[in-house]
Structure 1
Amino acid sequence: MADKQNQPVSRNQRIMERKVNLAKEADSWVMRVRTSDSRIVLRIVKDADRGIRILRQGLLLRFNPDDVTELLEEYFEAIKLLNNAAQKICEKAEVPYTPPEALLPRREMDADTKIDKTMDIAYDRGNGDLRI
């Protein structure tokens, strides 16, 4: 009987080990894809993520900032459209949907409200005890 350590590792085993190692990384997400539509979107996002990183790293050195800005704005607009479509789909299917925080409208606060909020955080709800 051959020793397991001396047996060659199959291609499928190498692929599975690589996927497991990638899943352990801090900036990775593991997703189960249930539809071909989602598979298409994830492939687009995977390649776009790589392209965006390269564009941002090469800004001013390799790429014109105006061109890059225009492309990134176009990409962000497409993301907002996808978000709206996903929200409508989930609403129709009665599935809870939480939009990404980056797509939620930001609330503007005046200076007094910001100070009040900071004081509420710094002090324990009016008890006069400073939180450390």
Structure 2
Amino acid sequence: MNSEKAPQAMKPETAAKKLGIYLPAAPQEFQDSVISRAEFTDLQSSPPEWLQELRHNGPHPRPEVARKLNVSIAGLARAGKTEPLTTAEIAELLQNPPQWLVDERASMAQVRTEEKRVRETRQAKDSH
């Protein structure tokens, strides 16, 4: 019996999610390969040109779009924004915010305020 462990690896979907990129926009060789932990670390520490381009210009996956617009993923869905957006499309939405974006950002601000209040209440209870 061999006691050596196989190196950890991840599916391309997982790697793309952790890298914050939209997998279908990545090169085919990335989409078709299993990524080792070492390869993933290399991608993070010295991203190749294609990864830098995707991160900068998109298209971006929904979690990244939501983060850049300061709304929830559910807020994107409510607005019918289910497709990936490019950096230019996100910038356009931020420069000329449609009503749904104004509403969702206000909603997100309320949620964050409430989460902060709950955290502070818990901390106050824990300190007594």
TM over 0.5: no
TM-score, L = length of structure 1: 0.34
Greater RCO, 1 or 2 (C-alpha within 8 Å, sep 6+) = 2
Larger radius of gyration: 1
